[in-house]
């Protein structure tokens, strides 16, 4: 049988953690685990993709700061050169607040957009909500979503739901 996604329901957290370990051993790909409260060690066992969001945000902040500094320099030195009180045209300490604010602004916008995009939002309906049993995930359900062969997924135990 071809690889499909399977949803398994477990009565408690110990069985869920054991199933995650067995799924890794049998070669199933663990897509996600759902529990009504945080379970210590579950996120590390499930794993997940490594994102480069922090580097992207850092580079966007540096770019925003550079653009802010360049804008202040251009406007003070070349576009509108006013000599006020004997100060030099390129008075860089006056540019620091704008530089900082432009860096923070671009970093924050990049963080918002990248996290929004990585989460797949806006998503108005998730296929897991088609299962009546999954509606208990927020208060009384421990679920494991795996991808792989039917027989390997069946060996994990739990209540089996096909997607």
Residue with the bigger pLDDT between 144 and 50: it is 144
Over the stretch 15-74, which tens digit does the pLDDT of each residue have?
A: 999 999 999 888 889 988 999 999 998 888 888 777 889 999 999 999 999 999 999 999
Q: Is the pLDDT of residue 105 over 90?
A: yes
Strand partners, 6: 146, 162
Domain boundaries, the chain: 4-50+124-162, 53-118
Residue 9: how many CB atoms within 10 A of its CB? 20
Helix axes 96-118, 53-73, angle to 10 degrees: 150
Average pLDDT, the chain: 88
CA distance 28 to 127: 20
Query: In the prediction, which pLDDT does 163 show?
Result: 59
Question: Per mean pLDDT, which range of 96-105, 110-119, 140-149 is the poorest?
Answer: 140-149
Dig out the tokens for 21 from the structure: 């370990």
The CATH T-level fold of domain 4-50+124-162 is: Alpha-Beta Plaits (3.30.70)
What is residue 119's predicted lDDT score, i.e. its pLDDT? 83
Are 18 and 143 in contact by the 8 Å Cβ rule? The answer is: no
pTM over 0.85: no
């Amino acid at each position: 049988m071809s690889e499909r996604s399977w949803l398994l329901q477990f009565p408690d957290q110990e069985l869920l953690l054991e199933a995650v370990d067995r799924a890794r051993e049998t070669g199933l790909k663990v897509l996600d685990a759902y529990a009504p409260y945080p379970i210590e060690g579950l996120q590390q066992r499930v794993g997940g993709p490594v994102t480069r969001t922090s580097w992207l945000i850092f580079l966007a902040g540096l770019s925003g700061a550079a653009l802010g500094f360049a804008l202040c320099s251009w406007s003070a030195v070349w576009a509108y050169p006013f000599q006020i009180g004997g100060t030099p045209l390129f008075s860089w300490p006056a540019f620091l607040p704008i530089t900082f604010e432009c860096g923070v602004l671009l970093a924050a916008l990049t963080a918002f957009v990248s996290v929004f995009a990585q989460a797949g939002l806006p998503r108005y309906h998730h296929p897991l909500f088609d299962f009546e049993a999954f509606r208990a995930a927020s208060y009384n359900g421990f679920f494991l979503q795996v991808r792989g062969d039917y027989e390997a997924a069946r060996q994990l135990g739990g209540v089996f739901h096909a997607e």
